[in-house]
Chains A and B, each alone.
Chain A
Amino acid sequence: MPQTDSTATTTDILVEVRNISVRRGETTLLDNVSLSVRRGEIVTIVGPNGSGKSTTVKSILGIVKPQQGSITVAPRTRVGYVPQKLEINWSMPLTVQRFMRLTQRHSKSQILAALKITGVEHLLEREMTALSGGEFQRVLIARAMASNPDLLVLDEPVQGVDYNAEVDIYQLIADLRDSHRCGVLLVSHDLHIVMAQTDTVVCLNGHVCCSGSPQAVTNNAEFINLFGAGGAAALAIYRHQHDHSHGPDGEIIPAGADACDHLHG
């Protein structure tokens, strides 16, 4: 079975969110949301637009203060953050190297090492605005990895990335979890790809509809209700293919494309 959280224990919990609620004016953005991320675990938050995915992440990062509930981050947890929709204004001259130093003073060797992890060290002197979607996201992830985080938080990391690069980036995130033993909290709108490498899925729609292993979630009635049977079917197909190939190679691509055909057909 592909469930990989067998080694994790409660002492490995990096962040624990308990029953948080966030309101802005009259509207309730989050209602009684709980989740936790353990070291070495990939937790994926899925949900429709406006379901509070980003608000959950921002609460964990301390950007948004919940009115109720508690968020406990384990002591000395370093958090690496890959934000959603980062656009660099062309008017600002910003090389990859300078961008890596945006909030912290890293040495050049630290920067190169971090860029190497995501396979983009050759882009060191390139301007951020000249990067492709996939390169840009890899630089963002490298920036988050440069501080050697215990918890990597990624808010829709494959936005503006073409399909092949998307598969590669998800594989990269899974590899980072394995090589750095960090916890990963991922926000995704993209069910059928992410879930294959995910340990725990949290399905959000203002409140937590359901959470658990990918299989448990896809069989959940509320999940099928939210995403439609089509989304659930595409996921099932993908998982089936993945169980057979077991390699992070090119085989994944036809499998995913196949799943897409089924979705549209």
Chain B
Amino acid sequence: MDRMVRSYRPVLTHVTTCMDDFIVRALVAGVAVALVAGPFGCFVVWRKMAYFGDTMAHSALLGVTLSLLLELHPGIGVFLVAAAVAVALVGLQQRAVLPGDTVLGILSHSTLALGLIAIGAMAGARIDLMSYLFGDVLTVNAEDIRMIVIFAPIALITLLLVWRPLLAGTVNRELAQAEAQRPDIAEIIYLILLAGIIAVAIKIVGILLITALLVIPAATARRFAATPEMMAVLASAFGVLSVVAGLVISLTIDTAAGPAIVVAALLAFLLSVAWPR
């Protein structure tokens, strides 16, 4: 209990000093997450793992429950559970008892259902379920910001380090293996960082909309990119654009920020499709 009080103190002092601080925090957190989501989302698209990402994100409620149990920051529990789910999924898919998408179909919705029950039993009415499902970017606090600002550069630099083996393994796993690229290690690192993105993105767009922030900017970028690297940079740019536009929409017409960000990303995608060659 003592721990929670301490973590919220900076927020309280800020609220009293500056009314617009919450918008600035929302903007910083949203932009940082979008920057990271761009290149990671490209791999989601290239590796055809949108459904995989969904399954990881849906396990996040179980992570929130874990955090409540262990009295941790919600992000840490979400990260641990999403990373464990990702590693387990890779193992399950390699066994190939069932088709890959059937495995995901079973796990994606059952982890969500289990999470809803677990969190209801644990926290009851104390939890604002809607904010976990659809995000609540305007409640981003100083601790969230600290987490995102530390995580974002680590994720981007690490991705840069494993870029070559990860890309080679995405094009063809055997080719990468034969030429000593160790795609297996790169994939595990990628998935663990993806779990980190899910953990920091929950407040921005929520569990149900995270995959949109990964997939839509990357799909928008495809049209304008000549190389994988260019696509990754453009995806970040379209993601940042969507976050900024979404927050503006959200504040102007007083709507939830998460859905507004996703709608802004969708508009950018539709414009890219209509864009003349």
Contact of B175 among A91, A93, A94, A103 (CB under 8 A): A103
Flag if A92 contacts B178 (CB, 8 Å): no
Distance, CA A153 to CA B174, complexed state (A) = 13
Interface residue from B48, B171, B178, B228 paired with A63 (Cβ < 8 Å): B178
For the residues of B in contact with A, the DSSP-based class is: helix
Chain B positions 51-77 with a Cβ under 8 Å from a chain A Cβ? none
Residues of B within 8 A of A94 (CB): 171, 227-228
Asked if A62 is at the interface (CB within 8 A of a chain B CB), the reply is yes
Chain A residues near B179 (CB-CB < 8 A): 81, 103-104
Which of these, A61, A83, A89, A104, contacts B48 with CB under 8 Å? A89
* Chain B residues closer than 8 Å to A58, beta-carbon distance: 174, 178
* Residue of B170, B171, B230 ringed by the most chain A CB atoms within 10 A: B171
Asked if B127 lies at the interface with its beta carbon under 8 angstroms from chain A, I say no
- When C-beta atoms are compared, the residue in chain B nearest to A87 turns out to be B172
Given known pairs A62-B178, A93-B228, the reply for A103 and B48 (CB within 8 Å) is no
Q: Which residues of B contact A89 (CB under 8 A)?
A: 46, 48
Q: Which residues of B contact A81 (CB under 8 A)?
A: 175, 178-179
- The answer to whether the Cβ of A159 comes within 8 Å of any Cβ in the partner chain is no
Q: Which residue of B lies closest to A63 (CB)?
A: B177
B226 contacts A102, C-beta separation under 8 Å: no
- Interface size of B by Cβ–Cβ distance < 8 Å? 24
Per-residue CB contact flags for chain B residues 212-229 toward chain A (1 = under 8 Å, else 0) read 000000010010011110
Q: Which of A175-223 contact B (CB under 8 A)?
A: none
Interface of chain B residues 230 through 249 with chain A (CB within 8 A):
230-231
Q: Which residues of A contact B167 (CB under 8 A)?
A: 102
State whether the Cβ of A229 lies closer than 8 Å to any Cβ in chain B. no
The answer to whether A93 touches B225 (Cβ under 8 A) is yes
B45 close to A (CB within 8 Å): yes
Can you list 30 A-B contacts (CB < 8 A)?
A58-B174, A58-B178, A61-B174, A61-B178, A62-B177, A63-B174, A63-B177, A63-B178, A81-B178, A81-B179, A83-B172, A86-B172, A86-B175, A91-B45, A91-B46, A92-B170, A92-B228, A93-B222, A93-B230, A94-B171, A94-B227, A94-B228, A95-B227, A98-B227, A98-B228, A102-B167, A103-B175, A103-B176, A103-B179, A153-B178
Those 10 A-B pairs whose CB atoms lie nearest each other, nearest first:
A61-B178, A103-B179, A81-B178, A63-B177, A93-B225, A92-B46, A83-B175, A91-B45, A103-B168, A102-B168
Interface set of A (CB-CB < 8 Å, partner B): 58, 61-63, 79, 81, 83-84, 86, 88-89, 91-95, 98-99, 102-104, 153
